[in-house]
Amino acid sequence: MAVLVTIGALVLAGGIAGCQKRIAIDDRPPETIAVRYVPADGYSDCLVASAVMCGNYVLDSQRLAPRDVRSAIKAAGGDATRVGDMQRYLAGQGLRMVPLRGRFSAEPPLGLAWWVLGRGYPMICVINRHAGNAEYNHAVVVVGFRPADAARGEMRVYLLDPAAPKRLACWDRFLFEHYWGSAGWVMLPIFEEPRAPRSGGSAQTGGRP
Amino acid sequence: MRAIAAGLTVLFVLGVTAVSAHADVIGQPATVRSSASPGGDIARPPVRPLPITAEQAAALESISHQPDQAVPPDTCAAYSPKAEKIATEASAVGFYAGYFGTLAAILISAAPL
């Protein structure tokens, strides 16, 4: 009997240890935005890597390099982990980053799905796995969505995590929402500085093309 | 008894491997499941981002300055502060100590008296 209990406990312990492993997919699914992955070089480079991924995608070039971004922000007396300093740096590159508190919906202009699916922008989202402790804020880039089960309509979120050993992760929607909400629903859209004013739709009313 | 101890070790390794493989398939920790409907239609994003007009950008800036929407500019996003690194290392040490301790306890208890 004791042997059976021991066997059960060991298998259960192995199961728990195995459950800590998270899926990561290297092939890009067609419903994701083709963003070139940039890994974080250090323990505090997630925002730099995420901004470089989104900035280069928007510019359709590889103009931004993590090392240059870090150096430039540091030379200006800033901190590359701070949203405000990153915002200032990107403004000098012809890019605008507007920090917003988003929501998981397709409603413009604060809906994450609206930005990703409706407008085609990869979105930096700040997540936190340790709710209540802002020191653990972590930047990831959301690049798409897909239903996990068409019958039940569950949704999953594709994201690029600069700190992950594998590049493209696929999270359950509610897991993502939990972590995102723990960081205050902060999302950081990056887009090219508008060149000339035009009459017509606005972001407030949707601005759908 | 030693054979039993060896068998238990093999079972433990198999348990880790099997559940890890399952996690790769289902993609999520088993504790997080959902049943609500999605927030919008599933679609493929545009091949290239659609431009944001000056009016849209101005509207976004306006929204970002509203009190309930404002994100403090000193908001930080850092991959892994030192505290987490230290905690990770400490938990790894604890894990291996517990693992090998358990194995040692099993082997000792399984040894002939």
**B16 at the A interface (CB within 8 A)?**
yes
Return the residue in A4, A6, A146 with the most chain B beta carbons within 10 A, the one to mutate for interface testing.
Answer: A6
Nearest to B57 among A23, A99, A194 (CB): A194
Nearest to B79 among A101, A113, A163 (CB): A163
Q: What is the DSSP letter of A134?
A: G
pLDDT confidence of residue A52: 97
Return the residue in B2, B16, B62 with the most chain A beta carbons within 10 A, the one to mutate for interface testing.
Answer: B16
pLDDT confidence of residue A196: 67
pLDDT confidence of residue A74: 95
Q: Which residues of A fall within a CB distance of 8 Å from B63?
A: 100, 109-110, 203-204
Cα distance from N-terminal residue to C-terminal residue, chain A: 69
Cβ–Cβ pairs < 8 A, chains A and B: 270
Average pLDDT over residues B45-70: 92
Q: pLDDT by residue (tens digit) across A75-109?
A: 999 999 999 999 999 999 999 999 999 999 989 99
Q: Is the pLDDT of residue A193 over 60?
A: yes
Residue A25, judged by CB atoms within 10 A of its CB (0-12, 13-18, 19+), counts as middle
Contact residues for B102 (Cβ-Cβ < 8 A; gap 6+): none
Q: pLDDT by residue (tens digit) across A101-155?
A: 999 998 999 999 999 999 999 999 999 988 878 888 999 999 999 876 666 567 8
Residue B92, judged by CB atoms within 10 A of its CB (0-12, 13-18, 19+), counts as exposed
Query: A57–B49: do the CB atoms touch at under 8 Å?
Result: yes
